[in-house]
Homo-oligomer: A and B are copies of this chain.
Amino acid sequence: MPNAALVVQADDTELQSDIVAELVKQMRALDTYDTQKDWPDAQVIDPYVLTKERKQAIPIVGDPDEITMARVKAYYNALATLIEKRSGLMAVPVINLTHEGFGRAFIIVGKLIVADKTLRDVHRFGFASLAKLNEEAGKVLEKAQGLIGQFPEVANA
């Protein structure tokens, strides 16, 4: 039975992507008290989707809470893990955030910056849909892979 409180439903084909699988793994690893133990993947990934309605419910100005920060970190960890799997090279996420939720996220391979994103309004971090998350993550992964291919010596430095 569909859960009305969730945006992502269990039969969503977008759940099949590598990034969602990795994100779910990261989120479950963070759940040290097993509160999400019996949740399906759709429910674990659901907070990453910030629909227009959900976005409107969040104040425009605000400090990100710990849960939101953890979500941002899990996203870049997941991207780094996938870059690592695909390139065979160690990828390190570096996230620089002020407590007001501004900053920058990098993913580093060797001496090469393969992803670089300015972060703003992190308390409203999220994607319009799961499809959008897959699309954006796909772009980051593709660009990273392209840079590693273009500058293998730097990526291996």
Q: What residues of chain A have their CB less than 8 Å away from a CB belonging to chain B?
A: 94-96, 104, 106, 108, 111-114, 116, 147, 151, 153-154
Contact A94 B106 (CB under 8 A): yes
The secondary structure that dominates the A interface is: strand
Chain B residues whose C-beta falls within 8 Å of the C-beta of A154 in the assembled complex: 112, 151, 154
Q: Which residue of B lies closest to A151 (CB)?
A: B154
A113 to B144, CA, bound (A): 15
Q: Complex Cα distance A38/B106, Å?
A: 41
For A114, list chain B residues within 8 Å (CB).
111
Bound-state CA distance A147–B147 (Å) is 17
Some 17 contacts from A to B, beta carbons below 8 A apart, are: A94-B94, A94-B96, A94-B104, A95-B96, A96-B96, A106-B106, A106-B108, A108-B113, A111-B112, A111-B114, A111-B116, A111-B147, A111-B151, A112-B112, A112-B113, A151-B153, A154-B154
